[in-house]
Structure 1
Amino acid sequence: MSNDSQIRILFLIAEPTNTARLRLQEELREIKQRLLLANQRERFQLEFGFSARSEDVSQELLHFQPHIVHFSGHGTSTGELCFEDKLGKMQPVKPEALAALFELVANQVQCVVLNACYSDIQAKAIAQHIPFVIGMNTAIGDQAAIAFSVGFYKALGANRSPEEAFKFGCVEIQLENIPEQLTPILRKKIVSQSPDDFYVERPPTEQRCYEAIRQLGALIRIKAPDKMGKTSLMNRILTYARANNFQTVTLSCRRLVNRQVATDIERFLQSFCAVISNELGLTNKVNEYWDNQLTPIYNSSEYFKKYLLPNTSRDFVLALNDVDLIFEHHELAQDFCNLLRSFHDMARRGDANSKIWEKLRLIIVHSTEFYTSLDINNSPLANVGLVVDLPEFSREQVQLLLKSYQMNWKSQKIEQLMAMVGGHPYLLKISIDEIKFNNKTFEQFLKEAPTLSGAFSDHLRELLEQLENNSDLRTAFSQVISADAETQVKLHPRIAKSLQRLGLIKLDVIFAKPRCKLYRLYFQMYL
């Protein structure tokens, strides 16, 4: 918003009849007064709506085309904003719904103010699309909510930026001697940067992978719990391969497995071959090469040998991500592993057919080693190729990650961060984003981390939902987080590997412990 442009402000009030009364009219009166006192009050155009319904938001965004959208009312502890239905009763609206709406007006709206309890959950979702979004990280009282609006619009009327106005709003709460100045949170849209800018190498892992992918008929298997950087490493290898004139195809197994093929290996492998044909830009000729008198594995091999590989002019890297989804289907797992193993073996036979198979390199990415249908270490893929078990970041690697964000922390601060989240790449990135881009002090971040209003709330809720949907996992993990430092917890292998796949535990030989302090604190409260 430039200093001489018109600023349109949309103020929406919702106070359902089945919720507690709020002083929303008083807040509106104060906002009007502050804008009337502005040096350039003619710049500000305020439109307000009472008893706001969810459909009113999209109508006003299209009709009034505001630069600032301000909502005052109730919010739930799980992040919904409470609009009104046609009878005036409460109608909760989820964060993802409003975020999707604001995505459609991202080139118009510059700032969103959500003056409602627990609205920071909404703010985080909307800030994916809008430059400045203000929410509340817990319940906020009427007096504090009004004081924040007074300070915010005072500053806005004096041509201050939304970021500066936010600070004035927080100070206004302090001036009123209300101990809630830390409740408002400013979320800023993060400008996309190249993933390479934030990639931290884990030597000698990358170099070993680069050397392996150059080998004829190579097979690389990358395994680690969820969100540990497997896909980033896979993409790094593929970038290296393309730079060395390899042709590459990446397939997520989420695209390969559905109800129709999950119990039928023949249909699955036909689909697998057809998809790779499409990815290579070749005509699908599966039906021409398929002989119903032969096994699906043999037919698939012949399709690769006689059609796909001869029609690729360069050596070819096939990267399969999310292979867990195949391993978990008993009807598919063993035969599919046999097929991949045969691809690798045929390149090493030294016979007349080896030459064509030497063109193919495989990268297989999965989360853990043990599945209900397959123990991969006793499968056809055991002891084959290069196995990469991704470790957590070391303290030195965390330091490199911070430097990529232009943050120079002392050792003590890094140790405090790692005490909370360990060396888990995903948790570290969320931590750094929260502190750097969302106006959080390090102390405030640590205090909020294991709570519903913390930076990890969405991630932790997803994990909690998975545990609540599986009583065996829930019981086992409750046992792990309840144990003291001296108690060793041994879990059934199937349970242990499922929890390890989710990234919730570390295994010390055969004993389980929480992956990090964050998980112990959060799940002790909510599980």
Structure 2
Amino acid sequence: MQFLPLSEFQNQDTQLTTRQREVLLLFLLGAEDDEIARQLYVTNDTVRRHLSDICKRFSPDDEQRFNRAQLVAHYARYRPELFRDSLLYAQSTLDLVLSYHQDAPPEQAIAHPLAQALRTVCPNCLYADKNLRMISGGRKQIQDALRHTKALLVLFSPTSDEETITEEVRLATAERLADTPCQVIMVQIDRPVQSMNHDLRYYLRGAQILTCLSSQDSAPLIRQIVERLQNQPLISSPPTPLVSTPAIAPPATDETVLPPVPIAEPELPTGTVTLTSAFYVERPGVDDRCLEEIQKPSALIRIKAPRQMGKTSLLARVLHQAQDWGCTTVVLSLQLAERDRFESLDTFLFWLCAQITHRLQQPITQLKDYWAENTILGSKTACTDYLETHILNQIPEQLVLGLDEVDVVFEYGKIASDFFGLLRAWHEQAKSYEIWQKLSLVVVHSTEAYVSLPTTQSPFNVGLPIELPEFDASQVQALAQRHGLDWDATAVQQLMEMVGGHPYLVRLALYHIARGEGSLPQLLADAPTDSGLYSDHLRRLLWTLEQYPELGQAAAAVMAAPKPLALDPTVTFQLRGLGLVRSHGHQVASRCSLYRQYLQTHLAKL
């Protein structure tokens, strides 16, 4: 059989769609057509059509049409890592993981020839390119490999996704499962060490940092890397730098602890934590679970928590990662809707469609014409048909729709019931209609809105529920270090006894202390007063309780009680939604000393 040249194979491989990659990966792993269809929620005919289209793409011409066997042979020759089960592949102890984004200049000029050269000297290598990250299961395969690989080689340029690289280096070093340490080498392409974020610099302690001043001068660098692998395996001992650039810091030992060094001025915690901020804290089992779920067709994630717990910041990161995987993303905050948009379901759904259309840079006139002709069918039907016909059918990629602040709808009972029922129906449509598998939803709402609900349940209980937990002591200490504060466990404990692990309250304290605007003892003394740092936060909670006297009386009883109390289930549900109490079995107690001291004083006056 005549093989395509590597360059031609790579060119066609990079042009496969996300869905084609999902089908291809399962096919290469040995799944039959019906098994692929079951896993991807599509029909057997759809699977056969995708595989036929893939074969046609690689065919030199119509007379030399690829069959499935030829497709397998080419991928076995040029992408052998795709044939291996991710966990077994990782646990076989890879020699090397090469991490890069091959379709993004200036990495492109180095990535292709480097990957080709490495295949001749390092056959047990995983190539973590953008294509592998986009396919179903690809991210999991990379994560497993990073925890076991003997060496990690990273290409880092101004167009690289710094957050993805940070996570990969962290997995290879801080969450390593193999017994031996991982040798990390980073090749910086037109990018200085000083531009790295705080976390990446921390995880790269002791790593070899190589500098490539221009992607046009890549040949000597590639040649030297290959020579090192041939003459002295990269995995046996750390090589000396190929270009004279010192390591960021000496390797950590049992006797030396190298805390992170802040790379930015303290940020006042207001609103969303930006994607580039050094002060965002990942929650284990939350961030990674969301990123895993959003890769699935027709995913529906429901993020909930009291105010200022980090819901919108997590939403931003989920959408950013989805966009990096090739999805189209749209984010809408329902806080932007004027009150008159909630006059009727028809008005609200028209506004929703208009916002989506506008953000996708499509003409609003098409919506006006469609709505005028089809609202006789009912606004829910018109909205659904419009999304299917003019949105989902018009974009080739997966659409991830992020809906923030949906608790705004809670107070409009009839609209809320119909709207959340419509979201539920869209999610269910994917089980029967393939086109609706292209729509994924991330819905965010504050649980504080529960105080107005005469029930013990949220009005929307579909999809994967994500309830944001507070920070633990290790996360608070890490945040203190990022603010340049050399705190021991006692200082962390003192702050957490007052405010718990509430992200906003913790960060606000660290911000003011780091700026020299008070000491920890001063902050703790003033915290539960109307002149303290948290006065606005506390007065808002007090105002809410004053609007609901029965809830205020229950809160007063909890704050004054020396031990947990049992309350009416509806009251418990509402107080937990406000973030004022934590559960102890069927009983509740004050969430932190700040709430107990402040509310015990002020609720007694009611």
Q: Residues 372, 462 of structure 1: CA spacing in aligned structure 2 closer, same or farther, 3 A cutoff?
A: closer
**Superposed CA offset, 1:343-384 (max 9, x none):** 2122222xxx41x222211000112395655869585x53x4
Is the 2:388–2:436 Cα contact (8 Å) retained in structure 1? yes
Is the 1:221–1:386 Cα contact (8 Å) retained in structure 2? yes
Residues 378-393 of structure 1: pairs in structure 2 closer than 5 A: 381-382=460-461, 384-393=462-471
Q: Residues 233, 330 of structure 1: CA spacing in aligned structure 2 closer, same or farther, 3 A cutoff?
A: same
How far apart are the structure 2 equivalents of 1:245 and 1:341? 25
Matching residue of 1:244: 325
How far apart are the structure 1 equivalents of 2:494 and 2:411? 38
Identify which range, 194-203 or 206-215, moves more after superposition. Answer: 194-203
Matching residue of 2:412: 329
Is the 2:306–2:579 Cα contact (8 Å) retained in structure 1? yes
Q: Residues 426, 336 of structure 1: CA spacing in aligned structure 2 closer, same or farther, 3 A cutoff?
A: same
Is the 1:222–1:366 Cα contact (8 Å) retained in structure 2? yes
Q: Residues 376, 523 of structure 1: CA spacing in aligned structure 2 closer, same or farther, 3 A cutoff?
A: closer
How far apart are the structure 2 equivalents of 1:283 and 1:471? 50
Unaligned runs of 5+ in 2: 1-264
Residues 256-267 of structure 1: pairs in structure 2 closer than 5 A: 256=337, 258=339, 260-267=340-347
Residues 42-441 of structure 1: pairs in structure 2 closer than 5 A: 194=274, 196-256=277-337, 258=339, 260-284=340-364, 285-290=366-371, 291-349=374-432, 353-354=433-434, 356-368=435-447, 370=450, 372=452, 381-382=460-461, 384-441=462-519
**Superposed CA offset, 1:201-253 (max 9, x none):** 11121111111111111111111111111111111111111221222111111
Q: 1:515 aligns with which of 583, 586, 591?
A: 591
Q: Residues 490, 458 of structure 1: CA spacing in aligned structure 2 closer, same or farther, 3 A cutoff?
A: same
Q: 2:546 aligns with which of 468, 490, 513?
A: 468
Match of 2:401, SS state, is: strand
Matching residue of 2:42: none
Q: Residues 209, 199 of structure 1: CA spacing in aligned structure 2 closer, same or farther, 3 A cutoff?
A: same
Is the 2:400–2:442 Cα contact (8 Å) retained in structure 1? yes
Is the 1:347–1:357 Cα contact (8 Å) retained in structure 2? yes
Matching residue of 1:524: 600
Q: TM-score, normalised by structure 1?
A: 0.59
Q: Residues 504, 191 of structure 1: CA spacing in aligned structure 2 closer, same or farther, 3 A cutoff?
A: closer
Q: 1:452 aligns with which of 516, 522, 530?
A: 530
Q: Which has the higher strand share?
A: 1
Between the aligned residues of both structures, percent identity stands at: 37
How far apart are the structure 2 equivalents of 1:442 and 1:191? 17
Matching residue of 1:185: none
The AA in structure 2 aligned to 1:262 is: F
How far apart are the structure 2 equivalents of 1:488 and 1:208? 33
Q: Residues 363, 418 of structure 1: CA spacing in aligned structure 2 closer, same or farther, 3 A cutoff?
A: same
Matching residue of 1:483: 561
Q: 2:582 aligns with which of 502, 506, 512?
A: 506
Is the 2:274–2:313 Cα contact (8 Å) retained in structure 1? no
Match of 2:329, SS state, is: strand
Q: Residues 523, 371 of structure 1: CA spacing in aligned structure 2 closer, same or farther, 3 A cutoff?
A: closer
Matching residue of 1:147: none
Is the 2:480–2:487 Cα contact (8 Å) retained in structure 1? yes
Match of 1:366, SS state, is: strand
Matching residue of 1:144: none
Deviation of residue 189 (structure 1)?
9.5
How far apart are the structure 1 equivalents of 2:484 and 2:344? 52
How far apart are the structure 1 equivalents of 2:335 and 2:586? 31
Identify which range, 228-237 or 395-404, moves more after superposition. Answer: 395-404
Deviation of residue 448 (structure 1)?
1.1
Matching residue of 1:77: none
Match of 1:490, SS state, is: coil
Match of 1:249, SS state, is: strand
Is the 1:249–1:317 Cα contact (8 Å) retained in structure 2? yes
How far apart are the structure 1 equivalents of 2:452 and 2:542? 21
How far apart are the structure 2 equivalents of 1:404 and 1:386? 32
Matching residue of 1:59: none
How far apart are the structure 1 equivalents of 2:567 and 2:316? 36
Is the 1:329–1:373 Cα contact (8 Å) retained in structure 2? no
Match of 2:376, SS state, is: coil
The AA in structure 2 aligned to 1:501 is: G
The AA in structure 1 aligned to 2:497 is: A
How far apart are the structure 1 equivalents of 2:550 and 2:569? 10
Match of 2:588, SS state, is: strand
Q: Residues 220, 202 of structure 1: CA spacing in aligned structure 2 closer, same or farther, 3 A cutoff?
A: same
How far apart are the structure 2 equivalents of 1:376 and 1:240? 34
The AA in structure 2 aligned to 1:323 is: V
How far apart are the structure 2 equivalents of 1:482 and 1:385? 38
Matching residue of 1:181: none
How far apart are the structure 1 equivalents of 2:368 and 2:393? 18
Matching residue of 1:99: none
Is the 2:528–2:597 Cα contact (8 Å) retained in structure 1? yes
How far apart are the structure 1 equivalents of 2:428 and 2:380? 14
Aligned length: 331
Q: Which has the higher helix share?
A: 2
Aligned-pair Cα RMSD in Å: 2.5
Q: Residues 261, 509 of structure 1: CA spacing in aligned structure 2 closer, same or farther, 3 A cutoff?
A: farther
How far apart are the structure 2 equivalents of 1:523 and 1:358? 48
How far apart are the structure 1 equivalents of 2:576 and 2:475? 22
**Superposed CA offset, 1:108-135 (max 9, x none):** xxxxxxxxxxxxxxxxxxxxxxxxxxxx
The AA in structure 2 aligned to 1:292 is: T
The AA in structure 2 aligned to 1:320 is: L
Q: TM-score, normalised by structure 2?
A: 0.51
How far apart are the structure 2 equivalents of 1:451 and 1:428? 17
Deviation of residue 445 (structure 1)?
1.4
Q: Residues 344, 329 of structure 1: CA spacing in aligned structure 2 closer, same or farther, 3 A cutoff?
A: same
